[in-house]
Amino acid sequence: MTDTLDREGARTRPAVPKRRRPRKTGKQTALGVARLLATLVILFFVLFPILWLALTAFKPEREVFTTSILFRPSLDNFRGIIGGANDLVHPMFNSIIIAVITTVISVPLALLAAYAFSRYRFPGAKSVLLGIVATQFIPGVAIALPFLTMFRDLGLLDTHLALIVTNLAIVVPYNTWLLKGFVDGLPIEVEEAARLDGCGQLMLLWRVITPLAAPGIFVSVVFAFLLSWNEFLFPTFLARANAITLPVSLMTLDQPDGVEWGQMAAAGLLVMVPMIILATLVRKHFAQGMTLGAVK
């Protein structure tokens, strides 16, 4: 009871420091320390695997198979995967090409669709949008397996095209949903003004919507690239030596006689660092984007 009065006192007169001091009871301090410790545990949990991978990547061969943290850093592991015995430059270029083309194709398609959902009320709008979102729940194997035999018949197995086509299955619905949210937020007045000036539909999309939605388009570009880059199931089914992507190429370091962990860590950095940078760029939209808008 006295405690309650104390708090109210402190609240009405926050400028008096002497009255705030006694509020920190032993229990509260203990809670504060517990919270601090818990925060440090979270930091450890989140960061340690990333740091350990980065550390291992620079270890000389002898040190990789120890848990030492003091060693003379070496670039041998990177030499091994760039122009070395396990050259991963080719898979890396494949990953870049596939991710770029997937992005370039998917974002305009998704923007057009998002615009329609956002600006028109038409029969079937709700069910079509729901259907598009629902495609995100289809298991990859149910798409990869039929494509495996179809692409074989078309002679397209192990090509960039095969992986671009399958990546579109993920990225187009995803970006449609993402961009719809952004277009919803754009003011309609600018469009009206443009229309009154006699601006045609295509010109309107290109000259008015695209610049206005630029931040949203940037986010969708990042996600399209990230989803394509990290994709593993489709290239495992549909690619071999020619179109192999970087995440799948990690498996070439995983030999029956043991894993080249040093080079694995170095390759891991190549896979991870660009995506960490991209994710940081769209930090604010990340949780929302990754969960189909579960959180606003």
Window 89-148: residues binding another protein (CB under 8 A) = 105-106, 108-110, 112-113, 115-123, 125, 128, 130, 132-135, 137-143, 145-148
- Partners of 61 in the β-ladder: none
What backbone phi and psi angles, to 5 degrees, belong to 38?
Answer: -60, -40
Please give the residues from 17 up to 36 whose contact with another protein meets the rule CB under 8 A.
31, 35-36
The reply on whether position 237 binds another protein by CB under 8 A is: yes
Q: How far is the CB of 290 from another protein (least distance, A)?
A: 6
Please tell me whether residue 255 adopts helix, strand or coil conformation: strand
Tell me the closest approach of the beta carbon of residue 151 to another protein, in angstroms: 10
The reply on whether position 163 binds another protein by CB under 8 A is no
- 181 near another protein, rule: CB under 8 A: yes
The answer to the question of residue 213 lying near another protein (CB under 8 A) is no
Q: What is the rounded distance in angstroms from the CA atom of residue 235 to the CA atom of residue 112? A: 28
Alpha-carbon distance 271 to 54, whole Å? Answer: 12
If binding is defined by CB under 8 A, does position 218 make contact with another protein? no
Q: Cβ 277 to another protein, closest distance in Å?
A: 9
Count of chain residues binding another protein (CB under 8 A): 116
Burial label, 101 (beta-carbon count in 10 A; 0-12, 13-18, 19+):
middle
Mark the segment that binds another protein (CB under 8 A) among 14-22, 75-83, 212-220, 224-232: 224-232
Among 62, 83, 214, 254, indicate the residue that binds another protein (CB under 8 A). 254
**Cα Rg for the chain, rounded, in angstroms?**
26
Pair 221, 107: CB distance under 8 Å: yes
The window from 13-21, 73-81, 196-204, 210-218 that contacts another protein (CB under 8 A) reads 196-204
CA–CA gap between residue 18 and residue 10 (Å, rounded): 9
When the beta carbons of 74 and 288 are compared against another protein, the nearer one is 288
Q: Which of 93, 272, 77, 292 is nearest to 178 (CA)?
A: 292
CA distance 37 to 227: 34
Positions 277 through 296 that interact with another protein (CB under 8 A): 278-280, 283, 286-288, 290-296
The yes or no reply on residue 172 touching another protein (CB under 8 A) is yes
Residue with tokens 């969960």: 291
